[in-house]
Amino acid sequence: MRLLVAGGAGFIGSNFIRYMLAKYPDYKIINYDKLTYAGNLENLKDVEENPNYTFVKGDITDLEYLNKVIKKHRITHLISFAAETHVDRSIHGGTKEFVLTNTLGVQMLLDAVRINGIEKMVNVSTDEVYGALRLDEKRKFTEKTPIWPNMPYAAAKAGGDLMCNAYWVTHKTPVIVTHCSNNYGPYQYPEKLIPFFIFKALAGEKLPVYGDGLYIRDWIYVTDHAKALDLLLHKGKPGEVYNIGADNERSNMEVTKLILKFLNKPLSQIEYVEDRPGHDRRYAIDASKILKLGWVPDYPMEKFEQGLRETIVWYQKNTKWVEDLWEKAKQANPHIKVPGEKNGGKK
Ligand SMILES: NC(=O)c1ccc[n+]([C@@H]2O[C@H](COP(=O)([O-])OP(=O)(O)OC[C@H]3O[C@@H](n4cnc5c(N)ncnc54)[C@H](O)[C@@H]3O)[C@@H](O)[C@H]2O)c1
């Protein structure tokens, strides 16, 4: 397989590339990434000398360049992680960037697949496209749940998903769409809940919990997601949608308390802050379809605490990765507040 991974320098993409290089010594992987603020080549420092790995800086909305790279590297398969992913950013400005990459970018990838006769594409999407579930219902999202997103990030992702369906029906473009739940694990950009709260807790600062904290997310360890995508690249049926989730519903408050407990920090570090507009109450994934295909997560619900502990230890151990990341974040945005830093000096 000669696989183009779009958006491979981000959190999930980099974990996926590492997983695939280790498992398939005869596959070639081309990481095609624009390197936005969230793209970080340090995530793949340990594999950059691997002869099966090549990095190419590029934007998925640039079809001409995409075609050149696909031809040059004789790409047979494509998977895309490339997206603007931070929900808060999609609400508080920059929504256009979300539509450009998450919707138009997917359409460009589909054209590239069609033009170059690529055998299969996997478009990595999110359960957030389904909208929200209620706390007082047992229902979970299935692949048949209607798409009805509530915030701009999810709407832009849904646009890409619908384009995949349209290209499959209209052109028979061989594409699979996945809807995965919230990921946790190493190499996640620290604007996202788990790494952000780990850094805040370690710095002795308040952990800002939105609203009443009773928002449910269905957490999956990032390499379990990578495993599922590997299976779909090989055995998934083009034209189909697959949900991915480890049946692990937790409230944000429960996750926050676990982080504080594992770091021996007091609950008084929790601070309730004004809720996010359009905040979805609950996400829960029915993953029976991919489980039937043979996917077995290594971190099911009963191993969540172990996965979270391992994640915390990883962020504690990889201090250089963390420091470099904050340095880069500060260069991109001098006003960014780095946990542990006050008035320019470390606490
Ligand atoms: N993080 C989660 O919990 C989660 C859950 C379900 C689905 N997803 C989906 O998985 C994918 C990866 O998420 P992540 O958390 O790793 O995101 P991330 O923000 O860490 O990484 C996104 C990557 O895409 C790259 N990128 C952005 N725009 C691009 C463009 N126009 N062209 C090429 N590259 C571009 C960035 O440089 C970055 O490397 C996204 O599509 C996201 O919607 C994420």
Cβ atoms < 10 Å from Cβ of 253 = 15
81 CA → ligand 1 middle, Å: 5
Residue whose CA is at the smallest distance from ligand 1 atom 22:
10
pLDDT in tens, 267-305: 999 999 999 888 999 999 999 999 999 999 999 999 999
Contact between residue 125 and residue 157 where contact means Cβ atoms under 8 Å apart? yes
Which whole number is the average pLDDT over 184-210? Answer: 94
Which whole number is the average pLDDT over 144-152? Answer: 96
Looking at residue 346, its pLDDT comes to: 38
pLDDT in tens, 155-178: 999 999 999 999 999 999 999 999
> 194: pLDDT confidence band, cut at 50, 70 and 90?
very high
Q: What SS3 state is found at 127?
A: helix
Instruction: Write out the two tokens for 120.
Output: 């299969």
Q: Please calculate the CA angle 193-30-166 and round it to the nearest 5 degrees.
A: 75
pLDDT at 145 over 50: yes
pLDDT at 331 over 80: yes
Beta strand ranges found along 64-162 (DSSP E): 77-80, 120-126
Say which residue, 339 or 12, is predicted with more confidence: 12
186 CA → ligand 1 middle, Å: 15
> 344: pLDDT confidence band, cut at 50, 70 and 90?
very low
Q: To 10 degrees, the CA torsion angle through 304, 310, 315, 319?
A: 180
CA distances from 285 to 88, 143, 190, 217, 343 (A): 22, 9, 25, 10, 43
Active-site residue set? 127-128, 153
pLDDT in tens, 33-54: 999 999 999 999 999 999 999 9
Q: What SS3 state is found at 68?
A: helix
pLDDT at 137 over 50: yes
- Domain extent listing, the chain: 2-184+220-249+282-303
**Total residue length of the chain:** 347
84 CA → ligand 1 middle, Å: 6
pLDDT in tens, 17-33: 999 999 999 999 999 99
10 CA → ligand 1 middle, Å: 6
DSSP 104: I
Looking at residue 161, its pLDDT comes to: 98
User: Which atom of ligand 1 is closest in space to residue 189's alpha carbon?
Assistant: 20
Q: What are phi and psi of 238, to 5 degrees?
A: -55, 145
pLDDT above 70 covers a percentage of the chain that reads 98
The domain defined by 2-184+220-249+282-303 folds into: Rossmann fold (3.40.50)
The closest of 104, 110, 141 to 123, measured between CA atoms, is 110
E strand or H helix at 222:
helix 222-235
Looking at residue 345, its pLDDT comes to: 38
The closest of 214, 209, 338, 337 to 268, measured between CA atoms, is 209
List all residues 6 or more positions away from 20 whose beta carbon is below 8 Å from its beta carbon: 3, 27, 29, 226, 230
> 139: pLDDT confidence band, cut at 50, 70 and 90?
very high
> Using alpha carbons only, how large is the chain's radius of gyration in Å?
19
pLDDT in tens, 45-104: 999 999 999 999 999 999 999 999 999 999 999 999 999 998 888 888 889 999 999 999
Contact between residue 220 and residue 192 where contact means Cβ atoms under 8 Å apart? no
User: Which atom of ligand 1 is closest in space to residue 105's alpha carbon?
Assistant: 31
User: Which atom of ligand 1 is closest in space to residue 101's alpha carbon?
Assistant: 31
pLDDT in tens, 235-267: 999 999 999 999 999 999 999 999 999 999 999
pLDDT at 343 over 50: no
Instruction: Write out the two tokens for 29.
Output: 């992987």
How much is the pTM?
Answer: 0.96
CA distance 228 to 234: 10
pLDDT at 106 over 80: yes
Residue whose CA is at the smallest distance from ligand 1 atom 32:
59
Contact between residue 217 and residue 281 where contact means Cβ atoms under 8 Å apart? no
Q: Which long-range contacts (CB under 8 A, 24 or more apart) does 17-21 make?
A: 17/44, 17/47, 17/53, 18/44, 18/46, 18/47, 19/223, 19/226, 19/227, 19/230, 20/226, 20/230, 21/47, 21/50, 21/52, 21/53
Computed over every residue of the chain, the mean pLDDT equals 95
Question: What is the residue whose two structure tokens read 């052109």?
Answer: 171
Which whole number is the average pLDDT over 92-120? Answer: 96
The closest of 71, 61, 73 to 29, measured between CA atoms, is 73
218: number of CA atoms within 13 Å, CB side? 24
CA distance 3 to 106: 17
> 328: pLDDT confidence band, cut at 50, 70 and 90?
confident
264 CA → ligand 1 middle, Å: 32
pLDDT at 317 over 80: yes
E strand or H helix at 308:
helix 304-317
Which whole number is the average pLDDT over 186-203? Answer: 93
Ligand 1, pocket residues at CB < 6 Å: 6-7, 9-13, 33-36, 38-39, 59-61, 81-85, 101, 105, 124, 126, 157, 180, 182-183, 189
